[in-house]
Amino acid sequence: MALTLARLVRTLAGLIALVIVAAIVLFVLGANAGNDIVRAIHDAGAWLVGPFKNLFSIHKPKVAMAVNWGLAALAYLVVGHLIASLLARMTPRRRALAA
């Protein structure tokens, strides 16, 4: 059970980071902000990076977004993997049978 939960947490953290990175890439490459898909990815990313918005004041908008949102993606990955590792450790280890 704990291993399944650990996998779920690790997968969720990866998906969150993927959404954030996709939003960064779309913004940096100048994707059409009026497109529904681009807007949905950007809105989801903006909601996920809430506390990291404007963490660093950089005057170039593309660099500022890449740095601030990139740190958010990294934080989600690190914290997600730490939580998953702790959950995985809760699983009792199987002992080898003596022959």
Range of the domain at 34: 2-89
55 in any annotated domain? yes
95 in any annotated domain? no
Tens digits of residue pLDDT in 2-29: 788 889 999 999 999 999 999 999 999 9
> Is the sign of the CA dihedral 64, 68, 30, 25 positive or negative?
positive
16 in any annotated domain? yes
Q: In the chain, how many domains are there?
A: 1
In this structure, how many other beta carbons lie within 10 angstroms of the beta carbon of residue 16? Answer: 20
99 in any annotated domain? no
22 in any annotated domain? yes
Three-class DSSP category at 47: helix
Q: What is the pLDDT of residue 55?
A: 86
Q: What is the pLDDT of residue 89?
A: 87
Each as own residue / partner, the long-range contacts of residues 42-50 (CB below 8 Å, 24 or more positions apart, any chain) are 44/19, 45/19, 45/20, 45/69, 48/16, 48/19, 48/20, 48/72, 48/76, 49/20
pTM as predicted: 0.84
φ/ψ (deg, to 5) at 46: -60, -40
97 in any annotated domain? no
Q: What is the pLDDT of residue 85?
A: 92
* Radius of gyration, alpha carbons of the chain: 18
Tens digits of residue pLDDT in 38-94: 999 999 999 999 988 888 888 999 999 999 999 999 999 999 999 999 988 887 766
96 in any annotated domain? no
